[in-house]
Amino acid sequence: MDLDAKTIEQLGQRVHDARTFLHIDDKSAELAALDEETAQPGFWDNVSHAQTVSKRAGNLREAIREYDDAVSLFDDAQTAFELADEDEAFAAEASDACEKLAKLLDSLELSSWFTGEFDDGDAILTVNPGQGGLEANDWADMLFKMYTRYGESKGWKVHVLDVTYAEGIGIDRATIQFEGRNAYGMLQSEIGVHRLVRISPTDAKARRHTTFASVELLPVLPDDIEVDLDPNDVRVDVYRSSGPGGQCVNTTDSAVRLTHVPTGIVVTCQNQKSQLQNKEAAFRVLKAKLYELEEQKRQAEIDELRGERMENSFGSQIRNYVLYPYQMVKDLRSGIETGNVDGVLNGEIDEFVIGFHKWKASQ
């Protein structure tokens, strides 16, 4: 980075502005209150509430730490820039600190956009095949792997709640839970229909095929969110987990299927280690789905949690992935595009996630 006094001044102003738009003073006061609460005798008597408070405190502490890192980086850059007049060796140090600071400030700005009720929390993402037969099943599997790798690259905890494998190739459905700061907020960029164009690996004549898969997203609801869920309205079925074959096939009846009789909503979970864990995870998803249903009733025109539902077919896609006759991934909302298709399918989608939120903020 080419440095001059103006660049240093601009970075300093960005650091100053960040304290305001990140609400650091408010976060510090809230954290102090939560720390005081956690220090009270009997705090852990209500484990569910204690876990919610501890998680919120952890998120606040991380946000404040990131801002403090930005302040520290600016101080280092400013000092090195001033010393560079006497010793050129400090010029490279100043440039390096400024580059790191600029990236950190971009990340902090992105975090500031997530102001929704659940944006800073965990997320449940589901991939479903659309039009295209076996091709769609394979495409859904590719997206499932892409999101799994993306979550891992973000340092989030990734839990595969359910995968139903299709006959032949691919999957009929996959549900993943991401645990990490801003997971729900960030992944809202992925809601919608994803279109793939390529030479079909299942076509003996090697023809070009177009296929579709859709992505849905739900927040993991905090325990203090009230949802009208009567256990007597839920039918619980257990069955043997399925898999792609080999030693990984579960040989016990640990998979769980929940059917909410009043609404007909069905949730399955089979990838946890025990029937109890599968049941808990399935109820977590069901709770989120019922909450979403109530939100839809209250807001018929605006679906705040999942976004606009579109037909899982041609003309409704949010992003195109073209592997043939050329290679390109393009988001039809933000206009972001890249020729690095392999990188994208390997989970390198930050450019699209950030691009979407910048586009959304400008609307």
Under the banding of pLDDT at 50, 70 and 90, the label for residue 181 is: confident
| Domain assignment present for 177 | yes
> What does the pLDDT read at residue 321?
98
Same domain, residue pair 215 and 235: no
Helix, strand, coil % over all residues of the chain, rounded to 5: 45, 20, 30
Under the banding of pLDDT at 50, 70 and 90, the label for residue 111 is: confident
Cα(198)–Cα(211) distance, integer angstroms:
9
Does residue 71 carry a pLDDT above 90?
yes
Q: What is the CATH classification number for the domain harbouring 333?
A: 3.30.70.1660
| Domain assignment present for 351 | yes
Supply the mean pLDDT for the chain.
89
| Domain assignment present for 224 | no
| Domain assignment present for 259 | yes
Cα(61)–Cα(54) distance, integer angstroms:
10
| Domain assignment present for 118 | no
Same domain, residue pair 71 and 103: yes
Q: Give the type of residue at 123.
A: A
Q: What is the CATH classification number for the domain harbouring 275?
A: 3.30.160.20
Same domain, residue pair 80 and 10: yes
- pTM of the complete model: 0.79
Under the banding of pLDDT at 50, 70 and 90, the label for residue 167 is: confident
For the CA atoms of 302, 304, 306, 310, the dihedral, rounded to the nearest 10 degrees, stands at 20
Residue 70 · residue 18 · CB < 8 Å = yes
- Nearest 5°: phi and psi at 66? -65, -40
Contacts of 29 (CB under 8 A, 6+ apart): none
Same domain, residue pair 9 and 108: yes
**Residue after which a domain boundary falls, among 298, 319, 349:** 298
End-to-end CA distance of the chain: 31
**Residue after which a domain boundary falls, among 78, 112, 146:** 112
Pick the closest to residue 350 from 327, 334, 363, 362 (CA basis).
334
Cα(196)–Cα(180) distance, integer angstroms:
29
Cα(264)–Cα(94) distance, integer angstroms:
61
Same domain, residue pair 190 and 322: yes
Least confident of 75-79, 98-102, 265-269, 294-298: 294-298
Does residue 303 carry a pLDDT above 60?
no
How large is the average pLDDT for residues 292-310?
A: 63
How large is the average pLDDT for residues 166-193?
A: 94
Same domain, residue pair 212 and 350: yes
| Domain assignment present for 337 | yes
Cα(151)–Cα(184) distance, integer angstroms:
11
- pLDDT tens digits, 213-238: 999 999 999 877 888 899 999 999 99
Residue 285 · residue 299 · CB < 8 Å = no
Same domain, residue pair 272 and 350: no
How large is the average pLDDT for residues 7-36?
A: 94
**Residue after which a domain boundary falls, among 242, 264, 298:** 298
For 104, the domain range is 5-112
| Domain assignment present for 290 | yes
Residue 140 · residue 106 · CB < 8 Å = no
| Domain assignment present for 225 | no
Q: What is the CATH classification number for the domain harbouring 88?
A: 1.20.58.410
Same domain, residue pair 213 and 324: yes
How large is the average pLDDT for residues 65-91?
A: 92
Same domain, residue pair 213 and 314: yes
Token code pair at residue 84: 């560079």
The structural domain count of the chain equals 3
* Helix (H), strand (E), coil (C) string for 35-96: HHHHCCCCHHHCHHHHHHHHHHHHHHHHHHHHHHHHHHHHHHHHHHHHHCCCCCHHHHHHHH
Same domain, residue pair 20 and 53: yes
Q: How many CB atoms lie within 10 A of CB 163?
A: 21
Residue 140 · residue 128 · CB < 8 Å = yes
Bridge partners (DSSP) of residue 217 are 125
Q: Give the type of residue at 285.
A: V
Same domain, residue pair 212 and 246: no
Same domain, residue pair 318 and 203: yes
> What does the pLDDT read at residue 301?
47
